[in-house]
Amino acid sequence: MSQDLHAALVAEPDNPEAKALLHQRSVTVEKLLSPLPTRKERFSVEIWREIALYLPRHDLKALLFIPHIVSRVASRILFRKLDLHFGGIDAEAGKSEFWTHHYGEFEAAKDEDARHAQRSADILTRIIVDPEFAGAVRTLRIYAPIRMLTNAIPNLINLRNVHISAGAEDIVPVLRVLQTTTPRLRGLSLHSPDGPSDLQFDFRNLAHFSYTTSGGSTNNVQTFLAQNRDFLRTVYIDNPHWAFPTNSVSIRNLTHFHFTGHVPMNNQIFADILANGRQLESLTLSCSLDGATSQQFRTSPHAYGIALPFLRHFAFSVTGVHRRVVDRDLFAAIADLLRGRQQLRSLVLTAHDENVQRAVGLDAAVW
pLDDT along the chain (367 residues), means of 10: 54 61 52 51 78 83 81 81 74 38 50 77 88 91 81 92 90 90 91 82 92 85 91 96 91 96 93 94 96 87 74 96 92 93 94 92 84
Query: What's the pLDDT at 144?
Result: 79
Query: What's the pLDDT at 91?
Result: 41
Query: What's the pLDDT at 97?
Result: 37
For residues 326 and 6, give the distance between their C-alpha atoms in angstroms, rounded to a whole number.
110
Query: What's the pLDDT at 92?
Result: 41
Query: What's the pLDDT at 54?
Result: 86
Query: What's the pLDDT at 214?
Result: 87
Query: What's the pLDDT at 58?
Result: 83
Query: What's the pLDDT at 19?
Result: 57
For residues 363 and 133, give the distance between their C-alpha atoms in angstroms, rounded to a whole number.
55
Query: What's the pLDDT at 254?
Result: 97
For residues 365 and 51, give the distance between their C-alpha atoms in angstroms, rounded to a whole number.
49
Query: What's the pLDDT at 111?
Result: 66
pTM of the model: 0.78
